[in-house]
Amino acid sequence: MKHTLAFLAAALIATALPAQADDTLDVVAQFEIQSPEPSTTGYIFTRMGITETLTHADPQGVLTPGLATDWTADGDGLSWTFTLRDGVRFHDGTAMTAEAVAAALDIARTKPGPLAKTPITAIKAMDGAVVITLSDPFAALPAYLAHFSAQILAPAAYGAEDAGVTVIGTGPYKITDLAPPLSLKAEAFDGYWGPAPHVPNVRYSAVSRVETRALMAESGDADFVFGLDPASVARLGLSDAVTVHSVAIPRVLLIKVNADHPALSEPEARRALSLAIDREGIARAVLRYPEGATQLFPPSVGAWHNDSLVPLAHDPGKAKELLQGLGWTMGGDGILTRNGERFALTLTTYPDRPELPLVAAVLEQQFRAIGAELTINTTNSSEISAGHADGSLDLGLIARNFGLIPNPVGTILSDYAPTGDWGAMGWQNDEITDLARSVGRGDGGAPARARITEILQTELPIIPIAWYRQTLAVAKGVEGAVIDPWERTFGLPELRLSQ
């Protein structure tokens, strides 16, 4: 009886130590694979190089040819023609025809996502090209088609009610095993139209806990770890087994302000709150970034970054003066009151991004220093848009991604012209709405952009805190890793395994 137990143990241990396959690249990130449906999980497939869009974007945000070689708009900008690349095959071997592309875009348009907000009226397939007609001119259309929800799948990929059932894309990698929610395996697609990838097999696993991802990078279990928390960036930087990449991206850590709230309706009040924030301290101690945000748009957003703006400063004294000017007087418990109303607000944030609750805790102390009481409500991310819809939100600490569409105008239109779930709230400024629409149509130029950023900097419907940097830890044997600031691709085809 006793011997059998010992034998069992030995057998178990023996099977547990096979060598790790070395021709597979292990990619780890926090995004969970919901289902083969492009509108919910498409961003993973584009990042892993399994599916592609008509247009791509280079690191500076300039659109480059993807499945469409070039695109032109006719005179009045109401109809765009995208000429398709020929000789492109889907993973199931079928050729990519204009009809397939039109059908894919039509399906994408009916589902929640950026395309639904564009003034598209019809998409028609011609021979070797696709024509899209608009209800009124929209210069950013090609940028919208670079969004992951506009990825092109084979007709066989869609099941009942156009729900995605299998992922049949055109990308350099073909899925061999899709196991939602946590893992996906793919191998190089020999029939790919572009240059063949160097790494034969890739495996994606979703690890939601940032500590675990950092440990996997450190212990060498993952070759390509995307999205690290500040502390691990510092720790992994020291270890020689891993190289850490960090690049500024068009995502901004900001406070969404409800201007309808009595305490926040005056711009001076919002400016006071902004002055209370020690952006350098937060950036260096909490986020481990070189410097905090001086305005809404980071330099990485190119044209929208306006150097002439007066940078946001940290001056608690001036903040108190501004608030006294608005009639707030210091109460017994160190909190300001005005005609019976205490200066008490709720800051809503979400734990999906690990740094948000940390910054919330810091903001609570820094606002208390100027007499504002903050209670932190860390909950589900949807509470921000729910709070916006029913007006119950006071302050929301969010990480707004301006790179959803390679051209930030899309996000500006949805956030500030005039308000948006993740943008301004209870704040009316007609001038900014007209300017944004003109830039959207393509006729507004640099002066319009400069005026928009100037309004945002003075009116402060949202209070920027820090510009995000995307972090990536790559194992020693992997070369050629480049972070895409627009978070559209992991750049797997360009990677090379040295060992």
Partner 1 sequence: MTDAVMIPRRAGHALRWTGAALVAASLILAVVGPLAVPGDPLAQSLTKALSGPEPAAPLGYDHLGRSIFHRLAAALRLSPAIAIAAVLTAGLAGLVLGTWAAARGGWTDRILTMLADALLALPGLLLVLMVLAIVPGTAPGFWAGLSLVLWVEFFRLTRAATRAVLASPAVQATRLLGFGPVYVFRTHIWPEIAPMMLTAAAFGTATAIMAIAALGFVHVGMRAPTPELGLMMVELLPYWREAPLALLSPVMATFALLLGLTLLAGSRDT
Partner 2 sequence: MNTLVTRGIQALMVAVLIGAATFAMMRALPGDAAYRIAAGRYGYDNVDTAAADAVRDELGLDGPALPALLHWLGDLLRLDFGNSLVSGQPVIAEIGHQLGASLSLAAVAVVLSLIMGPPLGILAGLRPGGLLDRGLLVVSTGLKAVPQFLMALILILILSVQFRLLPAAGYGAARHFILPALALALGLAAVNARIARDAMARIGAMPFYSFAQWKGLSRRQALLHHGLRNVSVPLLTYLGLQFVTLVEGVVVVEAIFGWPGIGHALVHAIFSRDVPMVQGTALCLGLGFVLINTAIDLLTARIDPRRAA
Return the residue of 98, 146, 216, 483 that touches partner 2, per CB under 8 A.
216
Question: Is the Cβ of residue 106 or residue 218 nearer to partner 2 in the bound state?
Answer: 218
- In angstroms, the Cα distances linking 184 to 36, 262, 421, 470 are 11, 50, 32, 22
Other C-beta atoms within 10 Å of 8: how many? 10
Helices and strands per DSSP (H, E), number in the chain:
14, 21
Contact by Cβ (8 Å): 440, 413: yes
Return the residue of 3, 16, 87, 317 that touches partner 2, per CB under 8 A.
16
Binding status of residue 207 toward partner 2 by CB under 8 A:
yes
Question: Is the Cβ of residue 121 or residue 208 nearer to partner 2 in the bound state?
Answer: 208
Handedness of CA 34, 35, 39, 44 (dihedral sign): positive
For partner 2, the binding residues in 371-400 under the rule CB under 8 A are: 379-383, 385-386, 388-389, 398-399
In this structure, are strands 68-73 and 120-126 parallel, antiparallel, or unpaired? unpaired
CA 271, CA 312: separation in Å to the nearest integer?
A: 9
Question: Is the Cβ of residue 381 or residue 470 nearer to partner 2 in the bound state?
Answer: 381
Binding status of residue 119 toward partner 2 by CB under 8 A:
no
Return the residue of 25, 27, 28, 67 that touches partner 2, per CB under 8 A.
28
Tell me the CB-side half-sphere exposure of residue 464, using CA atoms within 13 A. 25
CA 367, CA 363: separation in Å to the nearest integer?
A: 6
SS3 292: coil
CA 341, CA 121: separation in Å to the nearest integer?
A: 50
Q: Which does 365 bind (CB under 5 to 8 A by kind): partner 2, partner 1, none?
A: partner 1
Contact by Cβ (8 Å): 468, 292: no
Question: Is the Cβ of residue 333 or residue 430 nearer to partner 1 in the bound state?
Answer: 333
Binding status of residue 386 toward partner 1 by CB under 8 A:
no
Contact by Cβ (8 Å): 497, 477: yes
Binding status of residue 421 toward partner 1 by CB under 8 A:
no
Binding status of residue 282 toward partner 1 by CB under 8 A:
yes
Select the span of 20-28, 104-112, 283-291, 314-322 touching partner 1 (CB under 8 A): 283-291
Q: Site residues (CB under 8 A) for partner 2? A: 1-2, 5, 8-9, 12, 15-18, 20, 26, 28, 31-32, 34-35, 37, 39-40, 43, 111-113, 116, 163, 179-183, 203, 205-209, 212-213, 215-216, 218-222, 350, 352-353, 379-383, 385-386, 388-389, 398-399, 401, 404, 420-422
